[in-house]
Structure 1
Amino acid sequence: MLYVEDGNALTSAGLSAGIDLCLHLVRTDHGAAVANAAARLMVAAPVRPGGPAQFIETPLPPETGTSLAATRAWALERLHEPLTRASLAAHASTSVRTLARRFHAETGLSPLQWLLHQRLGRAQELLEATDLPLDQVARLSGLATTDSLRKHLSRRTGLTPSAYRAAFTRRAGRSGAALP
């Protein structure tokens, strides 16, 4: 047990358990969204289900004059669609090879790796903020199937989609509305 709650008395042992307890208090007083944001700022799991998987956002790199920022923004609006290196290259008006080189220089990832990271981020947002069924979360995030969502999310966080949703929404209400 990470912390103990007995009425108005709460206690924890150790630094990480103290963080867990603080996040529990924030979640109880202000809801899951605020606690999740605080956990991300601290690079901590919002609720540790037995393993210390980290839940951090991957920020976009800063824009430069020759940046692929417009192509990344275009792709972010179409995560639910099938996107390929060729479609990304066509949008950037460049060859697939040049796209790959520039993408790696700007993001440290290949275009398809970056796309997977963004799709997983979208899936995590949907799991945190909605009650949508897992097949809809998979489809809206561009991961296509529940199996694909489960495989990639488990690899990234160590949690199944259901366990991830439970960890991020414990003790707070959720909205059934889909995110844009």
Structure 2
Amino acid sequence: MLFVDDGDVLTSAGVAAGVDLCLHLIRRDHGSAVANQAARHCVVPPWRDGGQAQYIERAVPDAADTSTSATRSWALQRLDQPLPLDELARHARMSVRTLTRRFRQEVGLTPGDWLIRQRVEYARHLLETSDLPVDHLARSVGFGSSASLRGHFNATVGVSPQAYRRTFRGSEGDEPD
């Protein structure tokens, strides 16, 4: 949520969400027309939906003494390749069951979910910093196809890869979805 209005107590999720909260207060006290005018004056949308989690970076623990850290580092260097669970377990010198259990303990995710998240994070980075077409980008991050990338990206981030690129790069990175 961008902001919470609990009657006498209002709070925003951050500085930019503070603008949304201020517009909410104007809308509540003076109506939508005044809030819309204020938004136009500030060159911001009069209302944004919440769900901006796609813009929050999520750190994964990187302690060198954890039992899966070497395998996680190894996998990060190979995101463009297939990384089946048995191969990750073999690299970690663990059974699949033990690797899965330790991943959950150390990272809070299964190895498969962690890989998807890392591939999406890498895709986010490439969308922000490169002009790679989505189908090429999908292969570069290990999803294989643009449809697979779009599905995982939308499920994780909440927007399509192109919408994300437009948000962070503007119209210069536009290409049809």
Q: TM-score range by the shorter chain?
A: 0.5 to 0.7
Corresponding residue for residue 87 of structure 1: 87
Which whole-Å CA distance do the structure 2 matches of 1:106 and 1:50 have between them?
Answer: 35
Structure 1 SS opposite 2:153: helix
TM superposition score normalised by structure 2: 0.68
The structure with the greater share of residues assigned to helix is: 2
4+ aligned runs moved over 4 Å, structure 1:
none
2:116 corresponds to which letter in structure 1?
Answer: L
TM superposition score normalised by structure 1: 0.67
Which whole-Å CA distance do the structure 1 matches of 2:83 and 2:17 have between them?
Answer: 46
Corresponding residue for residue 49 of structure 2: 51
What is the count of residue pairs matched by the alignment? 133
Q: How much does 1:155 deviate? A: 1.5
Bigger relative contact order, structure 1 or 2, given CA contacts below 8 A and separation 6+? 1
Corresponding residue for residue 143 of structure 2: 143
Corresponding residue for residue 178 of structure 1: none
Q: How much does 1:157 deviate? A: 2.1
Structure 1 residue 15 and structure 2 residue 18: aligned? yes
Which whole-Å CA distance do the structure 2 matches of 1:162 and 1:65 have between them?
Answer: 38
Deviations for 1:93-130, whole angstroms, at most 9, x for unmatched residues? 11101000100000010000000000000011111111
Change in 2 beyond 3 A, CA 1:119/1:69: same
Q: How much does 1:51 deviate? A: 3.2
Gaps of 5+ in 1: 1-12, 20-46, 175-180
Deviations for 1:44-102, whole angstroms, at most 9, x for unmatched residues? xxx9x943322222212141534211100000000000001101001001110100010
Change in 2 beyond 3 A, CA 1:138/1:14: closer
1:111 corresponds to which letter in structure 2?
Answer: P
Structure 1 residue 119 and structure 2 residue 123: aligned? no
Which whole-Å CA distance do the structure 2 matches of 1:18 and 1:130 have between them?
Answer: 34
Structure 2 SS opposite 1:120: helix
Which whole-Å CA distance do the structure 2 matches of 1:14 and 1:75 have between them?
Answer: 36
1:15 corresponds to which letter in structure 2?
Answer: G
**Structure having the higher Rg:** 2
Change in 2 beyond 3 A, CA 1:134/1:66: closer
**Percent of residue pairs identical:** 43
